[in-house]
Amino acid sequence: MSVLISLSKVTKTYKLGDDVEVSALRGVDLNINEGEFVAIIGPSGSGKSTLMHMIGILDQPTTGTVELEGKNISKLTEEKLAELRNKHIGFVFQAFNLLPRTSALENVELPLIYSGDSALVRKQKGEESLRVVGLGERMDHTPSQLSGGQQQRVAIARALITKPSLILADEPTGNLDSKAGDEIISLLKDLNKQGNTIVLVTHEREIAEQAKRIVEIKDGQIISDKKIK
């Protein structure tokens, strides 16, 4: 199975003023293979979001290397990184991050703006992506006309539309009640069964246990990495 993302001896240090530094990651080695469903779990402040930023090439490590499909990303310009991100990675966030007063369909089509697809093709892809997440009947609704769980489905449809190599979800159930949260996790499981690679960041054990592999992080270091049956 081919390696999608590889982190090697990755550290990340944030500078707070002249002489205060925070070591958010302290030497992380992590490979994510095509087709995996990995949960990253750890308490608040353990470095989960920082790690997600590394996996999602949203930020460069302080030291160590990050490779996306075998390619070291450290020398790439911000413009090139943005292009790679857009092509390879679909992001899902706790707060949905949808445009208000904009239909579900238009929200989902947004990542295709620079794709070169015609308006008609963008619309067809957007409709297909909304159907995949079970929102075929809600395409014209704006975020305020949708429940939290439905809004997160729109965000997932938006992440899927470019057919990314990897879906990266940071606490996607954090703003949802437990029923809506369970539905989102079921959807992520289905998407994984259909071949999508998923990395899910959470601080909740029950949610992490729905994945096929659990990577546990504490104080910026991986303290366990287990496959579950």
> Is the CB of residue 220 less than 8 Å from the CB of residue 58?
no
Q: Which does 16 bind (CB under 5 to 8 A by kind): Mg ion, ligand ADP, none?
A: ligand ADP
Helix (H) or strand (E) holding 197: strand 197-202
> DSSP letters of 9-41?
EEEEEEEETTTEEEEEEEEEEEEEETT-EEEEE
CB nearer ligand ADP, residue 202 or residue 210: 202
Question: What is the rounded CA–CA span in Å between residue 227 and residue 214?
Answer: 6
Q: Does 49 bind Mg ion (CB under 5 A)?
A: yes
CB nearer ligand ADP, residue 50 or residue 129: 50
Q: Which does 46 bind (CB under 5 to 8 A by kind): ligand ADP, Mg ion, none?
A: ligand ADP
CB nearer ligand ADP, residue 133 or residue 169: 169
Residues β-bridged to residue 141: none
Shortest distance in whole angstroms from residue 62 CB to ligand ADP:
12
Specify the residue for token string 């439905």: 150
Contact range with Mg ion by CB under 5 A, out of 3-11, 33-41, 42-50, 182-190? 42-50
Provide the binding-site residues for ligand ADP, judged by CB under 6 A: 14, 16, 22, 24, 42, 44-50
Helix (H) or strand (E) holding 201: strand 197-202
CB nearer ligand ADP, residue 117 or residue 219: 219
Shortest distance in whole angstroms from residue 7 CB to ligand ADP:
14
The strand pair at 166-170 and 63-68 is best described as unpaired
How many positions of this chain bind Mg ion (CB under 5 A)?
2
Shortest distance in whole angstroms from residue 51 CB to ligand ADP:
7
Shortest distance in whole angstroms from residue 150 CB to ligand ADP:
26
Per residue, the 3-state secondary structure of 37-95, as one string, reads EEEEECCCCCCHHHHHHHHCCCCCCCEEEEEECCEECCCCCHHHHHHHHHHHEEEEECC
Binding residues for Mg ion, rule: CB under 5 A, are 48-49
